[in-house]
Amino acid sequence: MTSTADEIQIFEIVLSVALALIFARLFGYLFDRAKQPPVIGEIFAGLLLGWFGFGFLAGKTLSLFSFTLQVPQLSFTSEAFTFLAELGILFLMFLSGLEINFSELNKVKKPSVFVAIGGVIAPLLLGMLASHAFGFSWNIGLVIGLILVATSVGVPVRVLMDLKKLNTEVGLTILGAAVIDDVIGIILFVSVLGVATPLDVAFLGLKILIFFILFLFIGLKIIDKIFNLGEKIQLPKALLSISLAIFLLYSFFAYQSGIAGITGAFVAGVVIGHAMKSRKVIDDIKTISYGLFIPLFFVWVGANVDPTVFTTLNVIGFAVVIILISILGKVLGCGIGGKLAGMTNKKALQAGIGMIPRLEMALIIVGAAISQGILIGELADQVLATTVLLTLVTTLITPFLLRATFK
């Protein structure tokens, strides 16, 4: 029996997922035994799979007795694998919303706002100044500063959940600040890169406001009624199916409203977690999330790193400076914001560290700047290489720093 091209592609994806899960769990376990964050092990697994990815064996036939195996060319950054990985970050944010106490989150409104604003202003200004010092125009500096603004909340959320610190003042402040940071970052993104007129920006703000009114506040009022109706469906795991449908719909409508899908996933978690019967589905959602999708996301993060882009001292030097100020900007900006909001020195520092990671939004911004011709030629290559290294370093160091401050 011969296999079609589509069948071969499907089973190559299946094999990629299987290997990603095996390596993620193996290295997560090894790092955990070494008293290091398991998430770093999962990212390291992605680094290995992404760099080597069985490419040195691709196309070769391995034989053992009468059994032969044609080794495929596997990709851990393919469109299909990326789709599964993006579901992973959505599930991670959905879980974080499920596990927080909404009334407690409401208590940290002030520090969340102050931390978010500080975490936008400081990296933006430092990025502009550093870029100008390297000879770039102020316009290019503004784009680079914008790359440094958006926080990727997936890594600190995972660490806080592992440490059982998500529902603390610091954990909730990081979550709240990340949501605000996301909204500010998107508005700056569409304004600075010229992808929208002032009227479009105002309309975007209105859509964001409508999203939160409809999907958060109204959702909190009707979720129990939805769950009560769901219980009348005499089918296995009906409430789980309803919860997953709500989560995916919230992510979709958040994206349609101009907000990141992860914000919609987080809001869905808050709403469902508020339901009286939410405990009936949380364990099942954790099983799906941690058993499949979340490890794939962190493997994908590691697999996306290409070390060959760093070939000149100029690129390396610029990257080192940008990475240092990206870390300093978040720690100082968010830390000062936290202090102004009344947080202790230690908690303000923890909030600043939790806001360090950059990932998807940074890559989206640099990609948009290149596609619109704002960054071209060698400059585009240099900024892209720097952004890739920035996402890797900030993603890797945050778990170590955050865990150290909670000891």
Does position 65 have pLDDT exceeding 70, yes or no?
no
Residue 180: how many CB atoms within 10 A of its CB? 21
Domain contains 26: no
Domain contains 363: yes
Global pTM?
0.73
pLDDT tens digits for 8-61? 678 778 888 999 999 999 999 998 898 777 887 888 898 888 876 655 555 566
Domain contains 58: no
Reported residue count of the chain is 407
pLDDT tens digits for 78-123? 889 989 988 988 898 898 888 776 676 777 889 999 999 999 999 9
**CA-closest candidate to residue 150, choices 114, 199, 187, 195:** 187
Domain contains 350: yes
Angle between helical axes of 294-303 and 79-99 (0-180°, round to 10) = 130
Task: Please report, for the domain that includes residue 364, its CATH number.
Answer: 1.20.1530.20
| Alpha-carbon separation of residue 34 from 38, 40, 333, 393, 406 (angstroms) | 9, 11, 32, 20, 17
Q: What are phi and psi of 54, to 5 degrees?
A: 65, 15
CA distance 49 to 348: 37
Runs of H (alpha helix) within 100-197: 102-107, 109-133, 138-147, 154-162, 169-192
Domain count, the chain: 1
Q: What tokens does 323 get?
A: 């990475």
CA distance 385 to 381: 6
Domain residues for the domain of 389 are 89-294+306-405
Domain contains 67: no
Domain contains 359: yes
Domain contains 40: no
The pLDDT-based confidence of 1 (bands split at 50, 70, 90) is: very low
HEC-encoded secondary structure of 287-348: HHHHHHHHHHHHHHHHHCCCHHHCCCHHHHHHHHHHHHHHHHHHHHHHHHHHHHCCCCHHHH
Domain contains 43: no
Q: Among 68-77, 145-154, 270-279, 350-359, where is mean pLDDT lowest?
A: 68-77
First to last CA, the chain: 59
The one-letter amino acid code at 288 reads I
